[in-house]
Structures are given as C-alpha cells and as structure tokens.
Structure 1
Amino acid sequence: MVLTELLNALCLCRHRHSRSAALALSRWLAAAPVVWWRMASKYVARVPSPWWAPQRRLVGSWVSVCSVKCGALGGRDVVCAAVSFRPCIDIHKGKVKQIVGSTLRDSSNDGMELVTNFESDKSPAEFAKSYKEDELLGGHVIMLGSDPASQAAALEALHAYPGGLQVGGGINLQNAMSYLNEGASHVIVTSYVLSDGKMNIERLTKLVELVGKQRLVLDLSCRKKVPST
C-alpha cells in the first residue's frame, strides 16, 4: 500500500509538476525523511523512464527516497523527492540469485527448503559491468554464504566495477580490509556486530578504527519472528 502510494506520487511528479503531486510527496515523506525499499524488478519496470535506470532485467535493487525542502507552496513548505537507484547482486553458491531471505536462514537452521525466486545465467561480473556502463552508484554485492565459489564471484564483481560496489556477507575484522583492497567502496556488516537484538560495541569500534566510518555500512535488516506455540 505505502509503496504503491509512493510510486503513484512519483509518477504524478514525472508527468505534471502539480500542487497535488508535491503535496502527495510531502505527506508521504513527512513521517520518514529517509526511506529504503528493497524492490523486485517487476516494480522497476512499471516506473517511467528517465527517472530510473535503463529497463533491463535486474536481479534486485535498492531505491532511496530522501526528502529535500524545495520552497513554499500556499504558505506551506514543500518536500520534493530526490530518488536514486541502487543495484544489488545477491550471490549464492557462486550464482546470481534472488532468494526469499528468511528461507536462507531457516534452511541452515532447521533443514527447511531454500526458496529461490530467480537465478541468472549471467555472472556477477557481467552485472557489475552493466552497472558501471549505466553509471549506477551505491550498489552492493551480497554473499549469501561463505563458500569459496561465492567469495570468488564477489571478487570478480568488485574487479569489474572497482570503487562502485559495496560488499557484504560474512564481513568481519579479519577480512574487511581485504575486500576494500579488492575494489569495494564500502563493507557491509550485520551479524558480526548485531546479535540477539544487541550491538557489539567493541567489535564495531575496532571495525571503525580499521576501515574508517566513511567506508563502513551497518545493515539493520530485521524480521518479525512469531513465537512457536
């Protein structure tokens, strides 16, 4: 519902710069100055060009919507949207895949079947090259597993787009700097500093000292767990 309202507001602003479009964006963004959405490619295809990247098939993307005050309208401040497209490459067993995230964790914990929405024939490096050609910034490579094939595939993607991709999945104090040296713009950490709803300040501090806060991204992804009865 909220995603649909946002896209409708953006399309209004795209087709006619009207009072209703500006107010729609203003109301939507009032409660959340910065919003991040993980979107499947089917949503990207519905948004008119040239607001977004060329409409080729993408495995996944992040769309950031940042509120920017851009003047007054009828005595009220108007908030416009600054939208950027952030591509991602999810790697599992060396292949680019779109996986239902919760099933990845559940399959490793209790043997549940892994659910894959999409698996690409293209290599991670090919996707990285296309993102570089389209000048897409702020994208990331995520290793959905610590197997050698996924690590090698991630490095290939970083080499194909040096300085243009963040990397995450199994990042820790021992390997963070090596990924930066291989071409990652930032390292993304989750479970290494976040566990059981708590943050390990000691680990976080050491990571900041090692790589610098400008090159460190904290992934605060979470999900609601229903207690078993």
Structure 2
Amino acid sequence: IQTWVRTYVERYYPNANLIRADTELQAWYSESINVGHADHRDAEWWPELSTVDDLVSVLTTIVWLASAQHAALNFGQYPYGGYVPNRPPLMRRLIPDESDPEFASFLEDPQKYFFSSMPSLLQTTKFMAVVDTLSTHSPDEEYIGERQQPSIWTGDAEIVDAFYGFSAEIGRIEKEIEKRNRDPSRRNRCGAGVLPYELLAPSSEPGVTCRGVPNSVSI
C-alpha cells in the first residue's frame, strides 16, 4: 500500500513546496483534525503535513484502515460471533459476588447460570442478522488491487502502469498467504481441524467467506 501511495503522491507532488501551497489539501487535513477529531485537536501527536513523506504516511494510514485492517476485523465476525454463546453481544446478569444470594447457584451449575444470562431469543436473532450482514460481501464488491476499468480510470498512463504493478503485488501476497496455509510447519493455520488464515486474503466470492479485502469501508 505504501509503495502504491508513494508512487501516486510523488507523481503529483514531486516536492514539499507543492504540498504546503495546496490550500485545498491543507484545508482537508485541518478539517480532519479540528472537526473530525475535535476532542483531540490539541493533541501533540498529530503529524505535520508539509512534506511528501508526511502526505504518503497520512494517506497510507487511511488506505490501510479503510481496507486491510477493516477487513481483518470485520469479515471474521459471523464465523466467530454468529454462534452467540461464543461471543454474546450482551449479558443480562452479572457474575455474582460471594455475598450475592445467587452465588451458590452459580457455583452449583456455572453453565446453566451462563445460559440464563444470555440475550433473549429476539436479541440473539437481531444480533445474528446484523453480524451476518456486516460479514457479507456483495456480488459487485471491488477488492483491493481491482478496478472495473483498470486501463482507463485515469488518463495518466504512468499511474495506470503503477496501479497494474500494485495489483500484481496484491496477487503475489494472496499466493503467499495460500502458500503459508499449506505449510504443515505452520501448525496455527495448517492441519487437521485447523482453519487456514484467510482474513487478509485479498479476493473473495460473494457472501460470508471470512476473507476478502474490499477497496474501502462501505458503511
């Protein structure tokens, strides 16, 4: 991602003066800090936006958050949390203290107490439906490294070539993930009863697949 972003940025901002002089770019960054994160607007850790490296870093972070990081956190939700006892969205009873009258029943049958604390059937069904929707890829999803018309999305031939290079690198990464998933020495992702790690595999079929990195967050 960083290599692709750097190629794009350096094409249109070959030096720092252009970045500092771009009033729209500076206004966008200022709004991101002062409006989008008003509660942290005075924090000292905000990076500057005055050099090519600054812009590359900011944009790389945004692209990463909206694509790969979001995919890794989001599209595994249903396989993990669709069975609600595995990850309840809420509990209707607290774990009792030793002084609590319910402590004895908790000790007598912890599993029964746990299930009695679970969400209601209606709450459970709603949660399952929401998590299923969040974890589902649409049939027309565009994944990282893909475009419907990759050769004509911009009139800049140099950027088109750079995008093809980025797309090829994404394909290489997917093959590397598949290779590691077949490696029997990686016992955390290969073997009997072990699920392969595919959350960061770039491509996916439609539906709930527990893999796929879309180009951006859709909600």
TM-score (norm 2): 0.26
CA radius of gyration, larger in: 2
Structure (1/2) with the larger helix percentage: 2
Which structure has more relative contact order (CA 8 Å, sep 6+)? It is 2
Structure (1/2) with the larger strand percentage: 1
